[in-house]
Amino acid sequence: MKKYSEMTKEELTAELEDLKSKYADAKGKGLKLNMARGLPSAEQLDMEADFFNTLNPTVDFHSELGIDCRNYGELTGIHEARQLMADMMEVSPEEIIVFGNSSLNIMFDTVARSMDFGVLGSTPWNRLDKVKFLCPVPGYDRHFAITELFGIEMINIPMNSEGPDMDLVEKYVGSDPAVKGIWCVPKYSNPSGVTYSDEVVRRFANLKPAAEDFRIYWDNAYTIHHLYNGREDQLLEILAECKKAGNPNLVWKFCSTSKVTFPGSGIAALAASEENLEYVKKILTIQTIGHDKLNQLRHVRYFKNIDGMHEHMKKHAEIIRPKFELVLNILDRDLSPLGIGEWTHPNGGYFVSFDAPEGTAKRIVGLCKEAGVTLTGAGATYPYKKDPHDSNIRIAPTFPPIGELEQALNIFTLCVKLAGAEKLLGQI
């Protein structure tokens, strides 16, 4: 089979007519398939039904240090939950505050605190003329939604196979005091699946910000979300590297068990330097008396320790790995011979990042929707939902049953081919 770029106008025209016929057939099936968000599947959630057996009316509700988890108190979390999350985040328990179920909530509050109260005595951001954030792209749409909500100007930073373009990061951070932060998903990045290299992590730790209140927002959401035993990506621990570089306060580090246990009822944590945590606790003391200690206790008794958590994640991998392999196999089968599109091959995380021919992503997503397949909106992986190349599409394969996923992918590749043929014909 010829690549589209090698076809004559007549060949492309015939190909397009054939694709239109197949697309009409697909639309006629009346499908309703969803690949829009990176949700755990029902099978993953059902796998954890025994989680709720860890606490019942007959058990002891006291923590290891004798705290009655049914009552008020323990602002930073019970000790054993701090230990579990510290092991997950590769820091010490003293560097951890355990919150509620959502790391996104912690990130939102961290930005909100900076807006209202400043950071360690600096001017609150809401009193400044301009506040800017750096945004590695393609990136996580909910990060961008937070900064957009607060009126923070977002600056695109291209991603490569090592992580963000650090020359650009260093340029902006070192020269512009209005740059107050950067969003990062450093391991199995959303959506590209890239894990930051050691050099990139060290360059982050050695940044010399023009703003004293600049912080790295290090969302390590997929730290233990591997797809393959023996092929796990390794990531340098950022907080330790910041200490080595003499920048202990430079990073906020976030993590949760949202895709380890249940997204609606996991536990989340913030790791940071002692000085940063004291600043957070000062405000948190007024915000709450404490988070859900019974849920913290439930997580600790369910997993026992980090080894139990790792064993549990292997069960998740067994369920979702075939879905990722199906995505890659169908993309390779349908699109590689035609030379249209590029995509990532992640070792973990929840997404495959697909780059369509420039100028076709919105068309592809629209065609898929008409044929009954819902995808993440084109442009969602960029600030303000504006992909300058109209190219990136995030594929989220985890939620649908594998049979529905296969149907959705067949329609997706059909739409990619249709949009690609249209584009090339328009250029001839």
Instruction: Give the DSSP per-residue string, 25-71.
Output: HHHTT---EEE-S-PPPHHHHHTTGGGGGG--TTS--B-TT--BTTS
3-state helix, strand, coil in the chain (%, to 5): 45, 15, 40
Q: Which pLDDT band, with edges at 50, 70 and 90, does 426 fall under?
A: confident
For residue range 364-403, what is the model confidence (pLDDT) as tens digits?
999 999 999 999 999 999 999 999 999 999 999 999 999 9
Cα dihedral 301→299→215→281 (10° resolution) = -80
Residue carrying the six token digits 């594998």: 402
Select from 117, 58, 49, 405 the least CA-distant residue to 283. Answer: 117
pLDDT for the residue numbered 241 = 98
pLDDT for the residue numbered 403 = 96
pLDDT for the residue numbered 160 = 96
Q: Would you say 219 and 101 are in contact if contact means Cβ atoms under 8 Å apart? A: no
Residues 351 and 205 in one domain: no
In single-letter form, the type of residue at position 292 comes to D
Residues 319 and 295 in one domain: no
Select from 215, 291, 270, 273 the least CA-distant residue to 88. Answer: 270
Select from 148, 136, 139 the least CA-distant residue to 173. Answer: 136
Residue carrying the six token digits 């090339």: 424
Q: Which pLDDT band, with edges at 50, 70 and 90, does 3 fall under?
A: very high
Q: What crossing angle do the helices spanning 306-334 and 402-427 adopt, rounded to 10°?
A: 40
Structure tokens at 381: 């992986």
Residues 20 and 129 in one domain: no
CATH number assigned to the domain comprising residue 107: 3.40.640.10
Q: Is the pLDDT of residue 427 over 90?
A: no
> Would you say residue 399 lies in a domain?
yes
pLDDT for the residue numbered 428 = 76
Q: Which pLDDT band, with edges at 50, 70 and 90, does 1 fall under?
A: confident
| Strand order across the 179-184 sheet | 96-98, 268-271, 251-256, 215-219, 179-184, 132-137, 153-160, 163-164
Q: Provide the percentage of residues in the chain whose pLDDT is more than 70.
A: 100
Task: Kindly report the average pLDDT of the chain as a whole number.
Answer: 96
Write down which residue in 279, 304, 329 finishes a domain. Answer: 304
pLDDT for the residue numbered 311 = 97
Write down which residue in 261, 286, 304 finishes a domain. Answer: 304
Average pLDDT in the 205-233 region? 97
Residues 98 and 245 in one domain: yes
Select from 234, 228, 158 the least CA-distant residue to 197. Answer: 234
Residues 345 and 239 in one domain: no
Q: Which pLDDT band, with edges at 50, 70 and 90, does 274 fall under?
A: very high
> Would you say residue 55 lies in a domain?
no
Q: Is the pLDDT of residue 49 over 90?
A: no
Average pLDDT in the 65-70 region? 96
Average pLDDT in the 125-143 region? 98
Write down which residue in 304, 319, 334 finishes a domain. Answer: 304
Q: Which pLDDT band, with edges at 50, 70 and 90, does 79 fall under?
A: very high
Residues 155 and 284 in one domain: yes
Residues 15 and 135 in one domain: no
pLDDT for the residue numbered 348 = 98
> Would you say residue 298 lies in a domain?
yes
CATH number assigned to the domain comprising residue 408: 3.90.1150.10
For residue range 306-352, what is the model confidence (pLDDT) as tens digits?
999 999 999 999 999 999 999 999 999 999 999 999 999 999 999 99
Judged on CB neighbours under 10 Å (0-12, 13-18, 19+), 193 is: buried
Residues 280 and 370 in one domain: no
Residues 211 and 341 in one domain: no
Q: Which pLDDT band, with edges at 50, 70 and 90, does 16 fall under?
A: very high
Structure tokens at 213: 């209140």
Q: Provide the percentage of residues in the chain whose pLDDT is more than 90.
A: 96
Q: Would you say 185 and 139 are in contact if contact means Cβ atoms under 8 Å apart? A: yes
> Would you say residue 54 lies in a domain?
no
Q: Would you say 322 and 89 are in contact if contact means Cβ atoms under 8 Å apart? A: no
The total domain count for the chain is 2
Residues 325 and 298 in one domain: no
Structural domain that includes position 21:
4-45+310-427
Residues 201 and 273 in one domain: yes
Residues 290 and 191 in one domain: yes
